A and B are shown apart, each in its own frame.
Chain A
Amino acid sequence: MTPLALWRRQILTIVSLEWKKTLFARRGLWVFALAFLPALLIYLSALNLRNHRDELQRILLNNPTAAATTANIQIGMPFDRVSSILTGANLNFTTITRANRRTIIRYSDGVSSWDLIFVNGKLTDRTDRSLPALNDRIRQFAAIFQYFFLRLAIFFGCVGIFINLFRGEMLDQSLHHYLLAPVRRDVLLIGKYLSGLFSTILLFGSSTALQFFFLLYAYPGPESASYMATNGWSHFFNYLGVTALACVGYGSVFLASGIVLRNPLIPATIILFWEASNWFLPELLKKFSIIYYLQALCPVVAPISPDVPDAFKMLVTAAASIPTPLAILGILIISTAVLALAALSIRKLEINYSSD
């Protein structure tokens, strides 16, 4: 057998031994939760939106003048006055009291849905809770994908899975089984990396696909059909590709830190802060992060998170428009460089379980 054929066979063996361990270990269940929570949330939201749409249509059918009547509700009106207008318009509404601080009247008039907010018995604000347009939902999805899914879910999922591949076995005192096999250590590294990649792409990729599907599930009919006919499919494959590249990038970083450092938590924390603060770093420094390239590949620009303090918003530079091949190349170069460093390090790796 040629060395290349042997390495290929050994890598396949390692992947087949590892991927089940990675995916179906009890200690890895939280990664499943992390991956599929956004999909679950979007599904619940889609169900809610569909019900909401049905309700609006029913109200409009039964009470076509309700919207005109409720247009008389003005800021500053007392609670009793507003509730009598709504009762007069023959509309059902719910009252929500938030710890005696605020009282909210929630109702739908067949055209829109509203939250009327009362403080000290007076109407102070009204919030439109109507069915958002698909475009708004696509922008909302972009924000959740970039701020939660990429930066937190995939990030921590990769921390859990890739650090576990070497450091976890070190802590389990079972890594020596691999080191006592006639396998080159760099071949072992590639095998383990590919098994981690397979697991994470399977997990997070299927979650991305489900999220996208549920996003459109809320908009049956021509709205989603026209979206899919124009940008839909390209967005879908873009998101899938970004998910896979995130696993490639973060996976390589955390696999390496699991090999090089006894406590990979410290670099994980530093990388988390580095990636999180990427949006206001100078252009040159941005290039040394994974999220920089991933964001450039995302098909929709995400609105800046409302949690970002105003002072920081001024520092935000618009996401750079890097050509797609360059962005992909950027991630691949970072990952390859990191894996090369890890390969150098694993050659000198020693088994010293007592120190862990």
Chain B
Amino acid sequence: MSSSLITFDDVSRFYGEVLGVNRVTLNIPPGITSLVGPNGSGKTTLMNLMTGLVRPTSGAISVCGISPYDPQNLFRILGYCTQFDSFPSGYTGFQFVLSSLLLHGLDRQTAEQKAWQAIAKVNLLDAAKRKIAAYSKGMRQRIRLAQSIAHDPQILILDEPLNGLDPLVRSETIALFREVAARGAHVIVSSHVLHEVDMISDQVILLANGYVVAEGAIRGVRDEISDRPHQIVIRCDKPSLLASRLFAHDFIVEARLHPDRLGLLIQTTNLSQFHKLINRLALDGITIESITPADDDVNSLYQYLISEEGTSK
């Protein structure tokens, strides 16, 4: 078993008669991995399974070679920012982060130093000495984040970490995830904000109704979906001519003229043949400015694989 992977081997978890996740087999490599899926799809269950907060009904889990039921070793390398919006009563932000570090067995001085560093990373220095009960939702989110990164974990698990954050803090937080991932760590994020997932993720895991619907790099996942034509936007000088040329081929199923008459939206069932064709047409005197895939983002994957139309197919 590789020690750099988080592995799920045929893991199922049921809450009584309710399905949490079913027959999940995954190998999550380092980098930013997004868990995407609608409410109740099993994202939080998957994260709780990884961290030993819940146990699988069947199957086995290993987090970089460590069992989730070995907290003493697991949480030295793992930080988990949960969605639970509750804190030990009476704590200030600083005390909250510090208490967690003291439980690692650090001496007080080192723990205090690391706590301040983590709080600085989430820009909460001014409010650190205030009671958490007086924090706004965004501040509570940030102090949880500070606690989860304070011990410089190798694996960072974040359940809806961008909830309640304003746009500026959002971008700072995303930059922080990237920084953590850049040093070879695992960053596992669950989110509903698809365009942000799209921006930050190296790979995605799409979940629906407790099942893993797809996993891997976004482009790779899109390529695997053969029953949906690929959508491509072409900006060119003669879109009508291009459209007529394209329609001569079976693998072009739709060509729609852009309202500004300087582009086309193409739907093709064979991407490689389409690329060969477009190269030929470019040589025939049509000036092509750009060719951009229109549906290899998380949003499209979500639409194809998870939304009602996708799942009914």
The reply, when asked whether chain A contacts chain B directly with Cβ atoms under 8 A, is yes
B201 to chain A, nearest CB (A): 24
* Residue A63 is within 8 A (CB to CB) of chain B in the complex: no
Tell me if A182 and B82 are in contact (CB < 8 A).
no
Residues of chain B contacted by A180 (CB below 8 angstroms): 51, 53, 71, 75, 80, 82, 100
- CB interface residues, A 11-57, toward B, < 8 Å: 13-14, 17, 21, 25
B84 nearest in chain A by CB position: A173
Tell me if A182 and B104 are in contact (CB < 8 A).
yes
Q: A21-B88, A177-B88 are in contact. Are A182 and B103 (CB under 8 A)?
A: yes
Tell me if A21 and B55 are in contact (CB < 8 A).
no
Contact partner of B104 among A25, A177, A181, CB < 8 A? Answer: A181
* Residue A172 is within 8 A (CB to CB) of chain B in the complex: yes
B100 nearest in chain A by CB position: A181
- CB interface residues, A 336-356, toward B, < 8 Å: 347-348, 350-353
Tell me if B48 and A185 are in contact (CB < 8 A).
no
Tell me if A182 and B72 are in contact (CB < 8 A).
yes
What separation, in Å, do the CA atoms of A19 and B86 have in the docked complex? Answer: 20
Q: A14-B103, A350-B54 are in contact. Are A181 and B71 (CB under 8 A)?
A: yes
Residues of chain B contacted by A352 (CB below 8 angstroms): 15, 54
* Residue B69 is within 8 A (CB to CB) of chain A in the complex: yes
Tell me if A174 and B86 are in contact (CB < 8 A).
yes
* Residue A10 is within 8 A (CB to CB) of chain B in the complex: yes
Tell me if A348 and B55 are in contact (CB < 8 A).
yes
Residues of chain A contacted by B48 (CB below 8 angstroms): 351
Q: A10-B105, A176-B53, A351-B53 are in contact. Are A184 and B89 (CB under 8 A)?
A: no
Tell me if B53 and A182 are in contact (CB < 8 A).
no
B-contact 0/1 string along A1-17, CB 8 Å cutoff: 10000100110011001
B108 nearest in chain A by CB position: A13
* Residue B247 is within 8 A (CB to CB) of chain A in the complex: no
Q: A182-B75, A350-B55, A351-B53 are in contact. Are A176 and B82 (CB under 8 A)?
A: yes
What separation, in Å, do the CA atoms of A351 and B102 have in the docked complex? Answer: 22
Residues of chain A contacted by B100 (CB below 8 angstroms): 177, 180-181
Residues of chain B contacted by A174 (CB below 8 angstroms): 84, 86-89
* Residue A179 is within 8 A (CB to CB) of chain B in the complex: yes
* Residue B46 is within 8 A (CB to CB) of chain A in the complex: no
Tell me if A1 and B84 are in contact (CB < 8 A).
no
Residues of chain A contacted by B103 (CB below 8 angstroms): 10, 13-14, 178, 181-183
A92 to chain B, nearest CB (A): 55
What separation, in Å, do the CA atoms of A173 and B85 have in the docked complex? Answer: 8
A-contact 0/1 string along B214-249, CB 8 Å cutoff: 000000000000000000000000000000000000
What separation, in Å, do the CA atoms of A317 and B89 have in the docked complex? Answer: 48
* Residue B74 is within 8 A (CB to CB) of chain A in the complex: yes
Tell me if B53 and A350 are in contact (CB < 8 A).
yes
What separation, in Å, do the CA atoms of A13 and B102 have in the docked complex? Answer: 7
A191 nearest in chain B by CB position: B103
B15 nearest in chain A by CB position: A352
* Residue B184 is within 8 A (CB to CB) of chain A in the complex: no
Q: A6-B105, A14-B103 are in contact. Are A182 and B76 (CB under 8 A)?
A: yes
- CB interface residues, B 62-86, toward A, < 8 Å: 69, 71-76, 80, 82, 84, 86
Tell me if A184 and B71 are in contact (CB < 8 A).
yes
Q: Please indicate which of the listed interface residues A14, A172, A182, A352 has the most CB atoms of chain B within 10 Å of its own CB.
A: A182
A18 nearest in chain B by CB position: B88
Residues of chain A contacted by B52 (CB below 8 angstroms): 179
What separation, in Å, do the CA atoms of A14 and B88 have in the docked complex? Answer: 13
Tell me if A183 and B71 are in contact (CB < 8 A).
yes
Contact partner of A17 among B84, B87, B99, B104, CB < 8 A? Answer: B99
Tell me if A1 and B105 are in contact (CB < 8 A).
yes
What separation, in Å, do the CA atoms of A14 and B55 have in the docked complex? Answer: 25
What separation, in Å, do the CA atoms of A178 and B73 have in the docked complex? Answer: 14
What separation, in Å, do the CA atoms of A174 and B104 have in the docked complex? Answer: 18
* Residue B310 is within 8 A (CB to CB) of chain A in the complex: no
A179 nearest in chain B by CB position: B53
Q: List 28 A-B contacts (CB under 8 A).
A: A6-B105, A13-B102, A13-B103, A17-B99, A25-B89, A169-B88, A172-B86, A174-B87, A176-B82, A176-B84, A177-B87, A177-B88, A177-B99, A178-B103, A179-B52, A180-B53, A180-B82, A182-B71, A182-B75, A184-B71, A184-B72, A347-B69, A348-B55, A350-B55, A351-B48, A352-B15, A352-B54, A353-B84
Interface residues of B (CB under 8 A from A): 15, 48, 51-55, 69, 71-76, 80, 82, 84, 86-90, 99-100, 102-105
Top 6 A-B residue pairs of the complex, sorted by shortest distance between their CB atoms: A181-B103, A182-B75, A173-B86, A351-B53, A13-B102, A350-B54
Give 6 new A-B contacts, CB below 8 A, not counting A25-B89, A172-B86, A181-B75: A169-B88, A180-B71, A180-B80, A182-B74, A184-B72, A353-B84
